[in-house]
Structure 1
């Protein structure tokens, strides 16, 4: 089997992983493109002794790390939204996302990150500590299935966050944000009255900036890279640890952005 055929089924999920690492679609997709270009230029960089998914992610992390090192040296010269980021995801979060979101076991993560299993377990413990120390925020849930909405609400509150409302439709979501400014939105895509969670989120983002996590049974439909798409996306039925990981990552970038804004304001 050719390399292109071997990796094709895994590319949508690599986009998901890259976007979660980078904090936005544009930068995440740019890293994926860079990794694929590097693979075309040097097919030997793809370790065919590994399972195709593990080999693809190992190659991607190698390119990510090399570009990160370059961008740290040239950060002031790279336009915002390109490959450079002020806050890159540290190895602890890489390991956490690889296990909880992408479903790799510790041994696979060790191979992907070029570490031993003991180092990976240390990174995972550190990521868990980061979640515990996460600053609490207010959360809006847009979900039309009552049982799923209850599960989401319980999980969010178990992490120390406060749910400001649960909306079943586009209009209910907009009504809630008229009086609230959530720090995070969890949104289904297809809502009770046939309205769209995507439309609701776009209307919310037209008023203020807030991280959004989409929850859908059909993630591949939003992972093509061909149009504006979510940075944070999980699959129904979701695992508790997966959602915790993505919530933590979304708030990680929100906190970094706020600290960056404070530094700019302080220097004026």
Structure 2
């Protein structure tokens, strides 16, 4: 299969990535064109036996990182500085790339390591760094809805390590509503099944009638929420979870400022 045929299906996503990196459509698309021209001139740099999507993004990042100015913080034009661009601008360059590859383009850690030419441990550090840098910009008050004390303590520790404050830990639907009535959170982390048999999902949906706040659900039964048959949460963590996963998803939720689907 030709280079054009291999890369064509993935170009819209590369444009999305490039625009996010540069802060605008015109500049992002110009980089994509330059990368494609470089690939045409040197096709041997594209491994036809590997995933073409991965190879295309690797070529882009190789080109991007070969330009010294791209390894410094980017100054976006004022008219391009919407919320996510402001947060991207404040991320250090490699951390920005790693975070976007994970959060926007859904690459695995191994794929990101290959694309950026780093080890998986270095990628984990870059994504953790991105999480901390985002938290510094959008440090917020967090409500934890979790009925298992040890898990709640673990989540609280992770949240605080990112620079956020925990305004309450609720074990039931009623406790969660009481916390929100006294203090508005900027982020909600919610288990699905609570101690009294009530639903964390129902508690969150009740809150979202009067709040606009990002929500991350944590559950041992993700298949119950991922059927594709109705509006479902945008951010979901499966128990048992890895601390790095929780940190990354919290950062994604605050980065995009999206609400869980009702």
TM range (shorter): 0.5 to 0.7
Instruction: State the shift of 1:151 in Å.
Output: 1.1
Q: Secondary structure at the match of 2:193?
A: coil
So what's the TM-score if we normalise by structure 2? 0.57
Which ranges in structure 2 are unaligned for 5 or more consecutive residues? 1-46, 59-81, 89-95
Q: Please, which of 164, 174, 195 is the counterpart of residue 192 of structure 1?
A: 195
Query: Is the CA contact (8 Å cut-off) linking 1:139 and 1:161 kept in structure 2?
Result: yes
Query: After the TM superposition, which residues 168-183 of structure 1 pair with which residues of structure 2 at under 5 Å, given as runs?
Result: 168-183=171-186
Determine the structure 2 residue equivalent to 1:93.
99
Cα deviation per residue 1:172-201 (whole Å; 9 max; x = unaligned)?
111111111100000000000110000000
Q: Assess, with a 3 A threshold, how the Cα gap between structure 1 residues 224 and 57 changes in structure 2: closer, same or farther.
A: farther
SS at structure 2 position matched to 1:191: coil
1:251 corresponds to 2:254: yes
**Within the alignment, does 1:149 sit opposite 2:155 as a pair?**
no
For the residue of structure 2 that corresponds to 1:165, the secondary structure is strand
Kindly report which structure 2 residues correspond to 1:116-127, keeping only aligned pairs within 5 A, or say none.
Answer: 116-117=117-118, 121=123, 124=127, 127=130
Measured in 2, the distance between the counterparts of 1:170 and 1:154 equals 22
Farther off after superposition, 176-185 or 124-133: 124-133
1:128 and 1:190 mapped to 2: Cα distance? 28
TM-score if structure 1 supplies the norm length?
0.55
Stretches of structure 1 that go unaligned for 5 or more consecutive residues are 1-46, 63-84, 258-268
Which of structures 1 and 2 has the larger relative contact order (alpha carbons within 8 angstroms, sep 6+)?
1
Q: Rate the CA distance shift 1:224–1:91 in 2: closer, same or farther, 3 A.
A: farther
SS at match of 1:250: helix
Cα distance in 1, alignment partners of residues 83 and 153 from structure 2: 36
Contact 1:134 1:248 in 2 (8 A): no
SS in structure 2 of the partner of residue 139 of structure 1? strand
Q: SS at 2:231's partner residue?
A: coil
How many residues align structurally? 180
Q: Distance in 2 between matches of 1:131 and 1:153?
A: 18
2:164 to 116, 140, 161: 161
SS at match of 1:214: strand
Whole-angstrom CA distance in 2 between matches of 1:129 and 1:165: 21
State the match for 1:220 in structure 2. 223
Structure 1 residues 32-59: Cα deviation after superposition (integer angstroms, max 9, x where no partner): xxxxxxxxxxxxxxx9966xxxx59859
Please tell me the root mean square deviation across aligned C-alpha atoms, in Å.
Answer: 3.9
Question: What is the distance in 2 between the residues matched to 1:94 and 1:222?
Answer: 25
Q: Where in structure 2 are the equivalents of 1:101-120 lying within 5 Å?
A: 104-105=109-110, 108-111=111-114, 114-117=115-118
Measured in 2, the distance between the counterparts of 1:48 and 1:222 equals 38
Distance change >3 Å, CA 169–CA 116, structure 1 → 2:
same
2:166 and 2:176 map into 1 onto residues whose CA distance is: 13
Deviation at 1:235, TM superposition (A): 1.1
Select the structure of larger CA radius of gyration: 2
When structure 1 is superposed on structure 2, of 161-170 and 219-228 the one drifting more is: 219-228
8 A Cα contact 1:96 1:127, kept in partner: no
Seen in structure 2, the aligned counterparts of structure 1 residues 216 and 56 have a Cα distance that, compared at 3 Å, is farther
